Structure 1
């Protein structure tokens, strides 16, 4: 008669002991609070930066490429276009700054595509975090990369003779407008990264888009020197609008119309394409 209650008591006692062992193993009897949108986004942004620590070669696109672009275009084209590299540098540096950072935006798509290929999305799906935090964090980390590239271009330009008539404030304002624009178009690259199958396909497609947009613009030469049919395209090219906004700020003659158009375009692109990117992300993960 006494065996039944003893056994009945042993089962819950054993379960309680197992539960205590599990709680001791994880270090706390309390469940951790759910990560908020800001904290989880910052965590994934930090994750994007940690990749650089483990793969330092990723810094080439924000260090070596800006140096090569600035020096090469100044000394190769400067004499032919403006008569001297120094004069050309004063005109071209804002455009080279824009071109360099806009090119770097395509790495956002490649990073996301690589995460999909490696199955990272499946692991993140099981985490109790704000769902868009992976994309937002990736964009925050990439924005820091854009800032690093901008700093390299400006420093190299100053070392080889560039002087901004707009002063430090003009340069800072130009970089801020550039970062806002690049953050917005990064949503387009996220869509590309989520749709295409391999990082190589992402890079090939991105280069097909970026080459005509950056080279057929006012980066290297004023539109007034171009044929009418080409000038018509250059003047409505969003990269040209960005270049002229940055050039005006750095030259100390800011054009409110150009700056306003760039900022409005950045807001519109973000508002239109970020929901599409999120929808694709939810399906992919």
Structure 2
């Protein structure tokens, strides 16, 4: 596409903002076809939006064809600027919301492995209360590893996170919710399961172990220090699969493993000695910037009665 030396972009309308949102989604989905479901429009319509945007900007934003979808250098810059523009618009809307009594905008929630379905988290009840009080707020929820949740909250890419409580980072607020006791388990077909009452620390130390792959707090570190850490698996489901293979031992929350112990698939190893407590906490970013959707959700969390 030829570029005019004297081309100047004029006012940006709602239509261009819509095109930029389509462009951003296409980039993040990795192509036109992959973005159809998320945008809920057909590929030909998406292509038309991108072509019109390119004409409006007088730039070629991407290459599409048999070789696949790829951004041009200009497209990469426009994508980065689009992110900043849309984030600024969202910040503006949040600020206006804080000057009005009604709540609109969005609330971005990130949850670590299995927390949303744990009845002790009371996540469904909190969402019920929240939607009743802020029905116009759009909820954006997703699951991510703990370290990624911390990073996104700190970078203001998410509003509230739910994570295993293992450390306190500067710049974050913490609200303790409940605690898990984690025990060391092996599968019923693991050699250590044959005589669990007579196994020694040396037996445990020689067995291959799987762990979360994160820097743990002191109590967890003391339990992992003498293990043969041979595999990493952050998510509990993956860690459990490794343990059930019969080749690894590993720590799991008692509540998570309980039914597998009862049906004979898992065996706890030296439970009087091999355990640690792991808290679950909600986190938010320390900031002076008002954000009513986040503040209401945090307030509801504080009002919930959690069992320590």
User: Does 1 or 2 have the higher relative contact order (CA < 8 Å, sep 6+)?
Assistant: 1
Instruction: Choose between structure 1 and 2: higher helix proportion.
Output: 1
Instruction: Choose between structure 1 and 2: higher strand proportion.
Output: 2
TM-score with structure 2 length normalisation? 0.22
TM-score with structure 1 length normalisation? 0.24
